[in-house]
Amino acid sequence: MRTTVKNAQEIVAALSLDDKIRLISGHDFWTTEAIPGAGIRAMTLTDGPHGLRKQRNAGNVANVTDSVPATCFPTGVALASTWDPVLLEEVGVALGRECRAEDVPVLLGPGLNIKRHPAGGRNFEYFSEDPVVAGRMAAGLVRGIQSQGVAACLKHFAANNQESWRMSIDAVVDERTLRELYLTGFEIAVRESDPWTVMCAYNQVNGTHCGETRGLLTEILREEWEFDGLAMTDWLATFDRVPAIRAGLDLEMPGSTATWDREIAAALKSRTLDAADLDLACARVVDLVLRTAPPSGARSKAAPAPDFAAHHALARRAAAAGTVLLTNDGLLPLSPRATIAVIGAFAESPRYQGAGSSLVTPTRLDTFLDVLREQAGESRVTYAPGYDPITGDTTDALLSQAAQVAAAADAVVVLVGLPSRMESEGFDRDHLRLPEGHDRLVGAVVDANPRTAVALFNGAPVEMPWVARPAAILESYLGGQAGGAALADVVLGAAEPGGRLAESFPAHASDLPASANFPGDATQVQYREGLYVGYRFHDASGVAPLFPFGHGLGYTQFEYSGVKVAPVGAGWDVTVAIKNAGKRAGSEVVQIYVRDVVSTAYRPVKELKGFAKVHLAPGASQKVTVSLDRRAFAVWDVTSHEWRVENGDFEVLVCASSSDVRGAATITVLSPDVAATSAGPSDPAYVATDAEFEGMLGHPVPVEASLLPFHRDSTVSALRATTLGRVVRAIIVRVARRSFGGDDDPDTKAGNEALIENLPLRGVAMASHGTLSLRRLDHLIHVLNGASPKALLARRRGRRGPSRHPVTHATPASSAQTGANP
């Protein structure tokens, strides 16, 4: 046992009951409770993930636009495209140092939810559609952050794959898909990096809120994966605190002004809550306090000021390493003497991070235009904005100016993408198109000068109706504060675009089976596509993506030879020789996929099981080894609830992308396991029918809960269903708007509005600083459901006993809720 755990237990044993109850709920929006008499200091928890967002005026407000300056590193999607956990560890170290300097012991990131659908509003913050990439990238960051004595936080556990109704929706997902796709990344990150905290997701999984699912928080996370840190709620995620403590949810954030204290005390008294469970939660809070304490002796000394210049340089390197060259007919890198037309307002007003809780105030901000002018010389660079950076709209005048400027230059770089208000935490996109103005601009510029490179700035895949026309396409994603400089480095050839897509770009969103159930309905979303997400779908169906998972060209070419797969201990080592056959230094991502040749269970055609990034000088070669353990061949068996390996032949594919196989070897895996059998969604649609989904779930498909009558989990938006509801909603919205800062910022506003609409009524109570107690909330809900306020009041005065109209915590019976929890 770690000494801090033992010490924590001793400290907790000496606390009063009141102190214990106080300790497991935050003090305010960003800090935990201090109990000075017991030597327990308060901890500040801040977002995350791609930079420190420490609010200047903390306390009980959520103001995403007013935080201390910090290095804004590339967002999760851009970091993941580096496929370089070592680089992410470096970024993590820098994040940890900035946290330490600001006295922040807990950074709320990384987020590693699977990108089930490319329209997910928060995809920019997440890593991948594949759990191996997501888990390994997260592990790199965690190791770096925690090397500085700062706790990282894996979030959002689990199956938080959309923003629509994110705080209450029930994700109905079969056990095998949950295990193989949605939990595996968390498992890898826990096992590889020992995170000190995990944040549970807002949503429900199979009928139970994540924060109350003992299967997730205790059985899987702690008992199976051996997580030994603290589990906290997402902000205002608590649905019912007592069962949450029992489930293994230690800390409630933010503090809910004693909302649950009475219930916890009553549960202890009636022994529906075991005192040992409360003690355990307290001990984990204290353990985190001790684990993140500044090193002894450093207590009085302030942590050293971070080297912001070095961190900026690192952010620039990481952004270039995450830039993906999608197509190139040889235009890039640009020739050193070419005159360059820069088109697109993002060159001056960069789109470099996503809106919402991850919004960082950068220490500085590079623009592509400035850096290009500086590096290429003013006289070589001309510019036309082409569109409005806020709306994305263009005009005929802007288009013709852009065409003229483009036509007069040797080469053109046109910057397009998604304006902030089109993607944000809080809402999902309802299509994958660029703003019409951006599509028109690309067309006009390519017409004027075919020697055009398009650089995309967006947090997630977009459709490209013009894909075949430009001479080159770069996916820059949201590259952080140095993203503009990184693009200049890449187009001029000072850096290679080192990225590979960590997600598939579909040609059309409608191609995807998940589109049939994304984002679902207000109370439920059914994962009927099972494992057919991303390349797993494209491989199986033969529906070609626009760009495949793992794709990226770089500026040189690599040759693969001598693929060998040899047994080593209980696993296998895959080796391959990689040679840089081009004239420039460059990096390659060697991707190892496994295919079960004959399987009794339904399986994707192939799945990524390992990868390695190599950097090679021109002409240089290197032998690359990737180890595969037994798990690389396994499926989750829903009968025995364990991983099973089928006996037989497996193909090991050595690839440069999911659709570029460079070598293969077939091995025979001998396994005593009884074969797993399971069926999934059948072709051609890959959307499970009712019967297929029932088979996958192992029980009838749960009926979607109705919006009425209202209950504690009804969202503010659902109040629109009745006249009185609309009145109450208007009041809540007015009050909530006042408590958010940043309303004058249009990008933040859209996310805030969505956040308010998605807030469940219990969340309104918890955020009310004690004004709306749960009792009052229940009363309000009765009234909203048609009870006369007077009668309720009279009844309350006449009786002190329980209400004759108890308000249940539960969402109204979704009739076939079953025990399909993991």
Which residue ranges make up the site for ligand BGC (CB under 6 A)?
Answer: 47-48, 108, 155, 234-235, 357
Residue 124 Cβ vs ligand BGC, minimum distance, rounded to whole Å: 13
Cβ-based nearer residue to ligand BGC, 155 or 351:
155
C-alpha 816/C-alpha 704 separation (Å) is 9
Residue 755 Cβ vs ligand BGC, minimum distance, rounded to whole Å: 7
> Contact at 8 Å (CB) between 568 and 581?
no
Nearest one of 495, 456, 54 to 316, comparing CA atoms: 495
Cβ-based nearer residue to ligand BGC, 58 or 701:
58
Distances (CA, A) of 492 to 321, 557, 748, 817: 15, 18, 34, 58
In a 10 Å sphere around its CB, with 0-12 CB exposed, 13-18 middle and 19+ buried, how is residue 2 labelled? exposed
> Contact at 8 Å (CB) between 66 and 55?
yes
Q: Where are the beta strands (DSSP E) in 262-365?
A: 324-328, 340-343, 361-362
Q: Using alpha carbons only, how large is the chain's radius of gyration in Å?
A: 27
Cβ-based nearer residue to ligand BGC, 586 or 763:
763
Q: Where are the beta strands (DSSP E) in 26-80?
A: 45-46, 69-70
Cβ-based nearer residue to ligand BGC, 234 or 673:
234
C-alpha 294/C-alpha 303 separation (Å) is 9
Rounded to 10 degrees, what is the CA torsion of 774, 777, 783, 786?
-80
C-alpha 522/C-alpha 714 separation (Å) is 10
Residue nearest to ligand BGC (CB): 357
Question: Can you list the alpha helix ranges (DSSP code H) found in 232-274?
Answer: 241-247, 261-269
C-alpha 476/C-alpha 79 separation (Å) is 11
Cβ-based nearer residue to ligand BGC, 234 or 423:
234
C-alpha 72/C-alpha 52 separation (Å) is 8
Phi/psi at 132 (5° precision): -70, -45
Instruction: State the catalytic residues.
Output: 234
Residue 65 Cβ vs ligand BGC, minimum distance, rounded to whole Å: 13
- Which tokens hold the place of 735? 């009050």
Phi/psi at 340 (5° precision): -125, 125
Cβ-based nearer residue to ligand BGC, 470 or 751:
751
C-alpha 135/C-alpha 142 separation (Å) is 10
Residue 705 Cβ vs ligand BGC, minimum distance, rounded to whole Å: 22
Q: Where are the beta strands (DSSP E) in 150-280?
A: 153-157, 170-172, 197-200, 204-205, 208-209, 230-232
> Contact at 8 Å (CB) between 129 and 607?
no
Write the CB contacts of 217 (distance below 8 Å, at least 6 apart in sequence): 157, 200, 210, 211, 231, 247, 248, 249
Residue 47 Cβ vs ligand BGC, minimum distance, rounded to whole Å: 5
C-alpha 321/C-alpha 496 separation (Å) is 7
Cβ-based nearer residue to ligand BGC, 197 or 524:
197
Encode burial over 539-566: b for 16+ CB neighbours within 10 A, e otherwise: bbbebebbbbbbbbbbbbebebeebbbe
- Which tokens hold the place of 70? 């910090």
Q: Terminus-to-terminus CA distance in the chain, angstroms?
A: 27
Residue 77 Cβ vs ligand BGC, minimum distance, rounded to whole Å: 15
Residue 635 Cβ vs ligand BGC, minimum distance, rounded to whole Å: 31
Cβ-based nearer residue to ligand BGC, 234 or 503:
234
Write the CB contacts of 1 (distance below 8 Å, at least 6 apart in sequence): none
Residue 648 Cβ vs ligand BGC, minimum distance, rounded to whole Å: 42
**What is the CB neighbour count within 10 angstroms for residue 106?**
25
Cβ-based nearer residue to ligand BGC, 201 or 531:
201
Residue 526 Cβ vs ligand BGC, minimum distance, rounded to whole Å: 23
Cβ-based nearer residue to ligand BGC, 27 or 176:
27
Residue 113 Cβ vs ligand BGC, minimum distance, rounded to whole Å: 10
